[in-house]
Amino acid sequence: MKKFALAAMSIAALTACTAVQVKPVTGVAELKKVCVVSNPKVIVEDFVDVVRDGFSRHSIATDVVSSEAAGGCDVTLTYTALRSWDMAPYLSHAELRLWRGGMQIGYAEYHLRGKGGFALTKWQGTKAKMDPVIDQLLAQ
């Protein structure tokens, strides 16, 4: 019985507890261009490139703009991304919010519960973590 309990605890510790919450964009086919509002506080180096590639996969053009220039855009994307460290930095939390006319039209969140614990998948790259989230956000 002790061996079973130890094995169960080991499996639980190694399992990545990833939470993804998505409110998909309705009318995504109408989206032709999105302005990605630059967030200089985000230090996940490839985050914006991964997001832009994800939108491009769905045939949506993107431009990166400052918060001041965002007022001239019909649809904007704001984001935040946090990284954690465990022998190497890795993405532990990210949020994407799509806006049109001051109204939020879509939301997606990636969260690594417990910062990944002992799961080796916590060191997956930004693309591996965010591509499925972006695909759900822009699902048609």
The pLDDT value recorded for residue 87 is: 76
* 16 within domain boundaries: no
**Contacts by 83-88 with C-beta closer than 8 Å and gap 24+?**
83/43, 83/44, 84/112, 84/115, 84/116, 84/122, 86/115, 86/116, 86/122, 88/123
Identify whether 69 is part of a domain: yes
Asked whether residue 6 is assigned to any structural domain, the reply reads: no
Percent of the chain whose pLDDT exceeds 70: 80
Is the residue at 115 inside a domain? yes
Q: How large is the average pLDDT for residues 11-27?
A: 72
Residue scoring higher pLDDT (73 or 116): 73
Q: Is 5 within the bounds of a domain?
A: no
Residue 25 near residue 104, CB atoms below 8 Å: no
pLDDT at 118: 52
83: its two tokens: 């990284």
Distance CA 124, CA 62 (A): 25
The arithmetic mean of pLDDT across residues 124-131, rounded, is 90
CATH code for the domain of 112: 3.30.160
Paired residues of 112 in beta bridges: 18
Residue 132, in any domain of the structure: yes
Instruction: Kindly state whether residue 17 falls inside one of the protein's structural domains.
Output: no
Q: What is the mean pLDDT of the chain?
A: 84
Please state the domain count of the chain: 1
Give the sign of the dihedral formed by CA 53, CA 132, CA 96, CA 47: negative
The residue range of the domain holding 109 is 22-137
Share of the chain above pLDDT 90, in %: 58
Does residue 9 sit within a domain? no
Per-residue pLDDT tens over the stretch 34-54: 999 999 999 888 999 999 999
Q: Is residue 31 a contact partner of residue 140, using CB atoms and an 8 Å limit?
A: no
Please choose, from the candidates 88, 120, 94, 124, the residue with its C-alpha nearest in 3D space to the C-alpha of residue 109: 94
Could you report the per-residue pLDDT of 63-105, keeping only the tens digit for each?
999 999 999 999 999 999 988 877 777 888 999 999 999 999 9
